[in-house]
Structure formats: C-alpha cells, structure tokens
Structure 1
C-alpha cells in the first residue's frame, strides 16, 4: 500500500488546487466573460489562424472536462452565417458564399464527428484494434450514443478526459480536419455547409445535410473520417499497451501483498 500513497496524495492535492482555482474564477465571473469572448470569436468572421486557435482551445478545454466555445450544432445564428445562407438561397448554390471559412461551420461539419476530439474516429479505431471482451463491449455500448454525438460515456469510460495518451489527436486532429476541409472548399471540391442541421444529426452527415445533400461532400467527409481513424489507431494501441502493463504491475503488487 505504501507504493500507492504518494501518487494518491499528489492527485488529491492537485485536484484541490484545481478546484480552488476554478472556484476563484467562478467567484469573479471570469469564466463567464472568457466564454462569451470565445463564443464571439468562434462564430464571427475572424481571421482563419484565430479560428484554428479557437478550435485547439475548445478541444483542449473539453479534454480537461470544461465546455468549450463550439457546440454540436451547425452555427447559423451569426450575421456572417445568415449572409451565407441568404446567398445560397438566392443563387441556388453554396459555392461562392461571402464567408466560406466560418469557424463554426467548419468545426461542426468536419471536426466534430461523434463529439469533441472526433470521438467516433476514436471509437472505430478502438473497434479495429481492441480484442478483449470488455473493450469490445465498451465499443458496442458507446457506438449509438457516439454516432449521435453523445460521447460522455466514451470520454469517461475509456477514459479520454485528462488522459495524456490522447491529448495530441483529440486536440490537434480536429484542426487538421479543418485545414483539409478549408483547402477542399478553396479549390471548389465541396461547397461550404450553410444550411441548418438538426441537433443530434450523426457527425459524418452534418456536412452532407448542411450542404443540401451534396454527394461529393458526403464522400469527402467519409474519407476524412477514415483518415481520422487511421491516425487514432497507433494512439489506441499505445493506450491499450499501457493499460495492459498497469494491470501486470497491479497483479504483481497484489501477489506481493498476499
């Protein structure tokens, strides 16, 4: 038991320190003000580099268990988004809209499959790599919720929250998706998604619905999802290897105690 005392003490002290800081921030309403600023930067016509920064910040906050500035719906409540929608309705096409690279549209359409950190890609990678009964049961239990953007069970049960093994793909892979999607829009391979998408629409179909059923957009989105799964596979293998090693150490410790 002595071997576990120091890690437990460090975790408890760290949790108390974080809780103190969060309570202090909440007392002075700093978080509310910061969230409002982030929301305004995320939904408006901000520079593209700033949109990418907001995506990284959003996914990092969600990895920490804090709600970020983007939500699960396609953003259609800003002036720029409405201008895009009006253009598409007037010209019967979403190609050539005045604001083709809105952060809210790009993020929710191409960087939010299954919820924050591209949870659907992570779950599919887990289904490919994992072999144990418990791991496959976890995949089956979370598939439908994650497909409809309900990723809480996966984020906590895998876990992904505060797991350093998943911070790189969870935070930076959505940004890569947005860069690829922005380039595809730039070369007119796909149109900018401008139409309203119902809440709960499966992540891979958001861009398809938001582009009024553009079939090329659907194929592009599925290819992007396949790329995300491929990127996640080595991280899942590493995570499973670490978990297996931890179980071996725990078994040895339990044997020594006996």
Structure 2
C-alpha cells in the first residue's frame, strides 16, 4: 500500500514540479500576487463609493447627496489609478518577476522595455460617437481605456513575458553591448550596455504592430483577444472548466502539492479579469457580466481554505471522537477562520488520506455550484468587490457581493451542509483508524 501511495505521489509530484517550475507560469503567478494589493484597494474603494457613499442609499438620508457625490471623486481617482491602468501594472509586474526568475541583473531595464513595448502596440486613437449623431469620429492622441483596464490585461501578460524574454536574450549577446570606459556612473554604463537590445526590441514590436494593421486591419489587442483571450476564457471560466481545474488543484493538494500550482497560473489571469470587469460595471451602474471571478472562487470555493475545511473542523468539534483530531482542530480553527488551512491539511492529515481527500475535492464543487445557481437566478447579488482572501467566512460573502446579507446567509447554509458532506467520510476515517489500532495492539 505504501508503495502504491509513493507511486501516485511521485506521479503527481512530477507533474506539479513541471507546472510549478515552468518559468513563465511561475512569473505569472508571482506577478499576479504582486498586483493583488491594487485589486483589493480598488475593491474596497468601490464598496465604499457605491454602498456606503451612494447618494441614493442610506447615507443620502443623513448627509447631503451632493456632498456624497463630491466625496465619491476620491474613490473614482483611486479606481482610475488601479483598475483603470491594471494592464500597465500587470505588464510591469510580470516583466519584473520573469527577469528575477531568469536572474537577469538589469531588472529595471526589462520593466521599462516592457512598458514601452506595451504602448508601442497600443493604438493612440479612439472612435467617438457623439450622443444623438449617427456618425463616428476618430480622435487621435488618446488611448482607449479598454486597452489599459481589465479588458487589455492579457495583452499586458503577453507583452510582459515576450518583450522581457527577447530583451534578456538580446542583452546576453556581447556583440550588441556598447562598452564605455572612464569614470562613468554605473547606471550610465548599464544603460549603454542595453541600448541596442532596447532599440531592437521596441522596433520588432513596432513592425509587428504595423504589419498587423496593414495586412489584417487589426491592432495587437484585437489579435490577442481573437486568438488567445476569448478561447482560453471560455475554457477556464466556463462552469465545467472552472470546476474541473478547482477539483484538479484540490486533488493535487491531497497528494501534498499545493493547489496554487494549478489555480494561480491557469485560473487567476482570467478570473481576475472577470473580477475587474465586474467591479467596473458595478461602479458604472451597469449589468454585472460575470458570475465566476477570483473573489467568487475565494468566497465560495475556499471557505476556511482549500477544500472548504472550516466545515471539517466544525464536524470534528461536534461529532468527532478522536482526541488527536480534536487537538489538531483546536490548533487549526483560528487560522482556518482566515482561510489558512495548512495546519489541518498536514496535521490530521488530509494528505494521503483517501477518506478525507474525497470530500476535500467534492465539497468545493457543491458550494460553488450552489452559489453559481443562486447568483444566476438572482437569489444573491453577483460578486462585485475584490476582498482579501483572508477575510473570514460570512463576512466575506457580505462584502464581496456589495453588502448583500442574503449571500452571507447562503454561505452560512453552505458551511452547514458541507459539515454533513464531510461527516460520513470523517466517521469512516475514524473507524478505519480504530481497526488499524486494534490490529496493531
């Protein structure tokens, strides 16, 4: 039996190491981790602006609505500087981490090249149609906000990865370096060393952008959207694809490989894009476009941590008979309230425990499906606020849905039902441990 477990763990470990060690996926994971504070800030500002400071809401009966409208300008500025330029931030973040992961010594140059390249492939013009007129006008010298906000995020990822890789390879070529001597500041020497690689890099993308427009009447954003973003988004953010990747990530975790190896690089870029589009729509009082988002995953699929293990801890407290399990549950409960569940995963353990791996994989499927259909039929609001993943259950559902108390109640009901999903497997695990103990004695 141990040999079989070892073979399974070796197989999953090999796959996970390849995925987790792939330098572009790792850079993507690290890049999105770095931009999360901006997302959370934008989420809280949107919540304050359009729940607390909403002129037509409860505060409008206490404070003059004109004052509230004026105060909302603060939040709008923060939103413009976070969500409004999230593509630019993603480009810089991904480029930075890819340069670090490749041990490149001029990280700043990589980031600057990537940002320059992003604007090289972005058209500086926008189509404007005045209200009441049928004719559209082209306005030059402006960048469409759809190319800098969440809609253009995948372009930022592509540019951040490819421009950085090309730049690093060109910079390694000694023939392309300009060596200058004398008493010259190190920053000047570094800039001259990468002068030719920067020029080649930027010109390459400028030519690509020019040819796309000349031959196909497309810009870089439209091409990436057509070939990559839309097809992949349909797979990863469809209900089936989303649930499959969540299950796969938790199954990996059941064999000791952190689920972030799967979810972070494969899910997060698309779920974060959906989240930003939801926040922008909510801020502009438009219909909310997506149910499946990053915050939706955190609120309903990681309640108490991966596998929704807050329910398992409660089941152990109420129905458990093993003293060692109760001791682990006591130690794990406070971290679990903040969705940190490594103590219970490795403490009980859940890893390599066939009885507990099963509910660990299926419990989030139940909770996500329930929340999905509750959202789709209007029983709860859409998730519209990016909250910290460490926000405790019930509070997280209330905040993420823009203050919808029904979502908090639903999350509580889901936790209660999930307790009974875990319970029969917990009982089987206890019975098997008793049999093994009797055999040993």
Q: Could you state the TM-score of these two structures normalised by the residue count of structure 1?
A: 0.78
Deviation at 1:25, TM superposition (A): 3.3
Contact kept? 2:295, 2:386, Cα under 8 Å = no
Q: State the distance in 2 between where 1:31 and 1:51 align.
A: 23
2:42 equivalent in structure 1: none
Q: Secondary structure at the match of 1:117?
A: helix
Deviation at 1:44, TM superposition (A): 4.6
Consecutive unaligned residues of structure 1, counting only runs of 5 or more, are 1-6, 252-258
Q: Displacement of 1:12 after TM fit?
A: 8.9
Q: Which residue of 1 is the match for residue 385 of structure 2?
A: 195
Q: How many residues align?
A: 235
Aligned to 2:274, which of 80, 83, 86?
80
More relative contact order in 1 or in 2 (CA 8 Å, sep 6+)?
1
- Structure-2 separation of matches of 1:110 and 1:228: 11
Distance in 1 between residues matched to 2:324 and 2:248, nearest whole Å: 33
The question of whether the paired residues in 2 share the 8 Å contact of 1:148 and 1:202 is answered with yes
Structure 1 residue aligned with 2:7: 14
Q: What's the counterpart of residue 135 of structure 1? A: 325
Query: Aligned to 2:283, which of 71, 76, 89?
Result: 89
Taking the aligned partners of 1:211 and 1:163, their CA distance within structure 2 comes to 35
1:154 is matched with which residue: 306, 320, 344? 344
Post-superposition CA distance 1:97-120 (Å, at most 9, x none): 011x22533321112111111110
Query: C-alpha deviations, 1:226-253, integer Å up to 9, x for none?
Result: 01001111111111111111111111xx
**Offset, 1:129:** 1.5
Report if the CA contact (8 A) 2:19-2:25 is conserved: no
Structure 2 counterpart SS, 1:212: coil
**Contact 2:339-2:392 at 8 Å conserved across structures:** yes
Residue 54 of structure 1: how far off its partner (Å): 1.3
Alignment partner of 1:190: what SS?
Answer: coil
Q: 1:25 maps to which residue?
A: 18
Equivalent-residue separation in structure 2 for 1:20 and 1:170 (angstroms): 19
The residue that corresponds to 1:234 in the other structure is 424
1:205: which partner in 2? 395
Match of residue 256 from structure 1: none
Query: Are 1:179 and 2:179 matched, yes or no?
Result: no
1:48 aligns with 2:254: no
Counterpart Cα distance in 1 of 2:263 and 2:17: 24
| Whole-Å separation in 2 of the counterparts to 1:230 and 1:77 | 29
Structure 2 Cα separation of the partners of residues 241 and 48 of structure 1: 36
Distance in 2 between residues matched to 1:24 and 1:213, nearest whole Å: 40
How well do the aligned residues superpose, as a CA RMSD in angstroms?
Answer: 3.4
Largest Rg, 1 or 2: 2
How far did 1:174 drift?
0.8
> CA shift at 1:223, angstroms?
0.4
Consecutive unaligned residues of structure 2, counting only runs of 5 or more, are 33-153, 155-228
How far did residue 154 of structure 1 move?
Answer: 0.6
Taking structure 2 as the reference length, the TM-score comes to 0.47
Q: Counterparts of 1:81 and 1:202 in 2: how far apart (Å)?
A: 19
